[in-house]
Amino acid sequence: MMIHSFHGGIHPPENKHFTNRIPFKYLSVPQKCYIPLQQHIGKPATPIVEVGQFVEEGQLIGQANGLISANVHATVPGKVIEIAEYHTPYSEHGLCVVIEAEGSFSTSGKIREKNDITPMDKSTLLEKVKAAGIVGLGGAAFPTAVKLNPPANRTIDTLIINGSECEPYLTVDDMLMQTHPEEIIEGIHISMKILGVSKAFIGVEKNKALAIKALQNAVTNTKSEGISVVPLRTRYPQGAEKQLIYTITGREVPSGGLPMDVNVVVQNVGTIYAIREAVLFDKPLIERYITVTGKIVKKPGNYKVRFGTRVIDILEECGGLTENPGKIIMGGPMCGLALNHMDIPIVKGTSGILFLAKDEVEVNSFRACIRCGRCVSVCPMNLLPCDLGNAVEKQRYDIAEKLHPFDCIMCGSCSYVCPSKRPLSHFIKVVQTVLSAKR
């Protein structure tokens, strides 16, 4: 097949060697889980439990509120000791259900009976995905049942599975593809049935040779028609939705548009795995694999973690750090969220935690633009990050508005290459926030 090449992109150091050969491990369940009711794009779930109530593992504790929302479940069995605001990845005052672990696990470690999906129609399958509270696990956290059910006036002909994992340091998708390829293929078949498509492509960067091999073998072994593994050039941000769609299909999502505008749905491999668990085993989304990494982490690795586990509890299980960190990031270094403390809980969209040493963190303040044009040449969205940055610095949001700031995918490539260390993607985030507030 013909592979297309998107404009721009960069090659930051991959730094995946810390964890890309370390098998998955389960982390112990923490004594207290701080489970945010907002772990997704859209409205927070509405709490349906009370303080003092005992809940089972996987019990619904937050009901999806409206179309763009997602259910939230108890990630551990125990007693609800508080429903209160805590700092979460999405808000400094996010409502959380705090559960103190107690009692036995009703599903973990038990033999599971597989549902037969043959008689299930699209709406039954979608209902299982929705009930399980699945959201995009690649980081976007958009409710999956909504994405799998586009409006009637849109025709979807292609499903693309995102196995690129182009963010430096993160290896959790790579490990999932290496170790669970047949389960991923099963999840793809379920998603294809829901969407009514006969074509699916799994895009994987070529730096994940073992994952590519494992998936190719799984496609052959399962005699899967219509599913192709597509090795992709290793280049950041290959995993961004619009770039992935263009690379594989040659279709360009229009400015302000969505993948469905070019008849495509994209799902991350982790999401596909969660869809399989929900449909075949009625398993709600209560845990995920994450990468815990950085040269100062004593036991870096890929760990299965319950949502609501705080970063501090995870770090303790990973043996702690060899020195005080210079920066802690939830996610990867390019798109992740900098944390200013470790009491924040893991949520559905958390792909990893990165601990950077002091000597790995830039402390220099930024300088004036020297018009070198590097940011323009790497921008995968063909924007003018330098001009956007200059306009925002002067608070000329009227000028910035004309430079298509909402097309920015916040990949951070421009900031990465800027010799003046200008925080360009941050500037663009500022203009997006200012203009959104005005609309």
Q: How many CB atoms lie within 10 A of CB 32?
A: 17
Among 28, 121, 372, 433, binds ligand SF4 (CB under 6 A): 372
Which CB sits closer to ligand SF4, 42 or 331?
331
CB of 12 to ligand SF4, least distance (A): 12
Which CB sits closer to ligand SF4, 161 or 408?
408
Which CB sits closer to ligand SF4, 258 or 410?
410
Regarding 207 and contact with ligand SF4 (CB under 6 A), the answer is no
* Single-letter amino acid code for the residue at 269: V
Order of strands across the sheet with 227-232?
227-232, 200-205, 158-162, 264-268
Helix residue spans in 255-319 (DSSP H):
269-281, 311-317
Tokens of 94: 């996010």
Which CB sits closer to ligand SF4, 49 or 253?
253
3-state helix, strand, coil in the chain (%, to 5): 30, 20, 50
Of residues 405-434, which lie at the interface with ligand SF4 (CB under 6 A)?
A: 408-414, 417-420, 422, 424-425, 428
Return the closest-CA partner of residue 297 out of 139, 169, 168, 165. 169
* Single-letter amino acid code for the residue at 393: E
DSSP 227-247: EEEEEE---BTTTSHHHHHHH
CB of 247 to ligand SF4, least distance (A): 16
Among 194, 219, 383, 392, binds ligand SF4 (CB under 6 A): 383
CB of 380 to ligand SF4, least distance (A): 6
Regarding 334 and contact with ligand SF4 (CB under 6 A), the answer is no
Which CB sits closer to ligand SF4, 222 or 432?
432
Using alpha carbons only, give the angle 297, 341, 327 rounded to the nearest 5 degrees: 50
Among 266, 329, 335, 369, binds ligand SF4 (CB under 6 A): 369
Which CB sits closer to ligand SF4, 338 or 370?
370
**Residue ranges of E strands in 74-213:** 78-86, 94-101, 158-162, 200-205
Regarding 386 and contact with ligand SF4 (CB under 6 A), the answer is yes
Residue pair 288/268 in contact (Cβ under 8 Å)? The answer is no
CB of 168 to ligand SF4, least distance (A): 15
Q: Which stretch binds ligand SF4 (CB under 6 A): 120-128, 217-225, 281-289, 367-375?
A: 367-375
Residues contacting ligand SF4: total by CB under 6 A: 30
Q: How far apart are CA 409 and CA 435, in angstroms?
A: 16
Which CB sits closer to ligand SF4, 319 or 373?
373
Among 385, 391, 400, 430, binds ligand SF4 (CB under 6 A): 385
Q: How far apart are CA 44 and CA 38, in angstroms?
A: 4
Tokens of 154: 């849109």
Which CB sits closer to ligand SF4, 8 or 294?
8
Q: How far apart are CA 223 and CA 362, in angstroms?
A: 50
CB of 415 to ligand SF4, least distance (A): 7
Which CB sits closer to ligand SF4, 358 or 371?
371
Question: In the complex, which residues of this chain contact ligand SF4 (CB under 6 A)?
Answer: 369-375, 378-381, 383, 385-386, 389, 408-414, 417-420, 422, 424-425, 428
